[in-house]
Amino acid sequence: MNRLARPTDGRMIGGVCAALARRFGTSATTMRVIFLVSCLLPGPQFLLYIALWILFPAEGKATRTAW
């Protein structure tokens, strides 16, 4: 499995859906559709997206580790 990092290419807003698509082996379009459909349900989807945007490092910064 790939490491979770927001890619520099293929992103639309923050790259969260593209990062999740790479991780789970699907297309970014599929992840975006899943996110949009989930927004029809009650819940904190937008807050989760913003949190993942902050937590996932950018692809260039993902090679550095804190260990």
Domain boundaries, the chain: 16-55
Q: Give the pLDDT score at 12.
A: 81
State percent of the chain over pLDDT 70: 87
Rounded average pLDDT over 6-23 = 83
Task: State the Cα angle at 24 between 44 and 63, rounded to 5°.
Answer: 95
Confidence of residue 65 (pLDDT cuts 50, 70, 90): low
Q: According to the model, what pLDDT value does residue 16 have?
A: 87
User: Is this model's pTM higher than 0.75 or not?
Assistant: no
Q: Are 53 and 6 in contact (CB under 8 A)?
A: yes
Strand partners, 58: 6
Give 24-34 pLDDT, tens digit per residue. 889 989 999 99
5, amino acid identity: A
